[in-house]
Structure 1
Amino acid sequence: MKTIYIWNIKFNPLRKNEIVSHVQEWLAEGRKGIHITGVNPEGVVQAQANLFLREAIRDSDMVNIDNMLVVLTLRLNGCEIPERAATPDVFELLLVEANKRRQRMYFLGAEEKVLRKMLFKIKQEYPFIQIVGAHNGFYTAEEEGKIVKEISDLSPDYLFLGLPTPQKELFIMKYKPILPVGCLYGVGGAFDVKGEKVSRAPKWLRNIGLEGVCRILQNPRNYGGRITTYYFPFLKLFFGHLFSKRIVFEKDRS
Structure 2
Amino acid sequence: MAPQSVPAAITIRKIRLTNLAMDDVLNALHAAIVKRVATRVAFVNADCVNIAARNPGYLADLQAMDWVFADGIGVKLAGQLLQQPVRANVNGTDLFPRLCEEMAREGRRLFLLGAAPGVAQAAGDWVLSTYPGLVLAGTHHGYGPADELPTLLECIRLAQADVLLVGMGAPRQERWIQAHAAATGATVVMGVGGLFDYYAGNIPRAPLWMRHSGLEWLFRLLQEPRRLARRYLIGNWVFMMRVIGDRLRGNIRGKS
**What amino acid is aligned across from residue 63 of structure 1 in structure 2?**
V
Match of 2:9, SS?
Answer: strand
Match of 2:183, SS?
Answer: coil
> Within the alignment, does 1:137 sit opposite 2:133 as a pair?
no
1:17: Cα distance to partner? 1.5
Q: Which residue of 2 aligns with 1:23?
A: 29
* Structure 2 CA distance for aligned equivalents of residues 221 and 144 of structure 1: 33
* Structure 2 CA distance for aligned equivalents of residues 211 and 6 of structure 1: 21
> Within the alignment, does 1:151 sit opposite 2:156 as a pair?
yes
**What amino acid is aligned across from residue 20 of structure 2 in structure 1?**
L
What's the Cα RMSD here? 1.6
> Within the alignment, does 1:8 sit opposite 2:11 as a pair?
no
Post-superposition Cα deviations, 1:202-224, rounded to whole Å, max 9, x if no partner, equal: 11111111001110111111111
* Structure 2 CA distance for aligned equivalents of residues 179 and 55 of structure 1: 21
Post-superposition Cα deviations, 1:7-38, rounded to whole Å, max 9, x if no partner, equal: 02111121112111101112212212x11100
Q: From the superposition, tell whether residues 217 and 230 of structure 1 become closer, same or farther in structure 2 (CA, over 3 Å).
A: same
Q: Which residue of 2 aligns with 1:75?
A: 80
> Within the alignment, does 1:85 sit opposite 2:90 as a pair?
yes
**What amino acid is aligned across from residue 222 of structure 1 in structure 2?**
R
Higher relative contact order (CA 8 A, sep 6+): 1
Summarize the alignment of residues 161-176 of structure 1 with structure 2, pairs less than 5 Å apart: 161-176=166-181
1:70: Cα distance to partner? 0.9
> Within the alignment, does 1:65 sit opposite 2:70 as a pair?
yes
Structure 1 unmatched ranges of 5 or more: 247-254
**What amino acid is aligned across from residue 14 of structure 1 in structure 2?**
L
**What amino acid is aligned across from residue 64 of structure 2 in structure 1?**
D
Which of 224, 230, 236 does residue 231 from structure 1 map onto? 236
Q: Which residue of 2 aligns with 1:50?
A: 55
> Within the alignment, does 1:199 sit opposite 2:204 as a pair?
yes
> Within the alignment, does 1:212 sit opposite 2:220 as a pair?
no
> Within the alignment, does 1:123 sit opposite 2:94 as a pair?
no
Structure 2 unmatched ranges of 5 or more: 1-6, 252-256
Q: How many residues align?
A: 245
Residues 114 and 196 of structure 1 are in contact (CA less than 8 Å); yes or no, is this contact kept in structure 2? no
**What amino acid is aligned across from residue 26 of structure 1 in structure 2?**
A
Post-superposition Cα deviations, 1:144-180, rounded to whole Å, max 9, x if no partner, equal: 2321121122221011011110111000000123331
* Structure 2 CA distance for aligned equivalents of residues 239 and 75 of structure 1: 11
| TM-score (normalised: structure 1) | 0.91
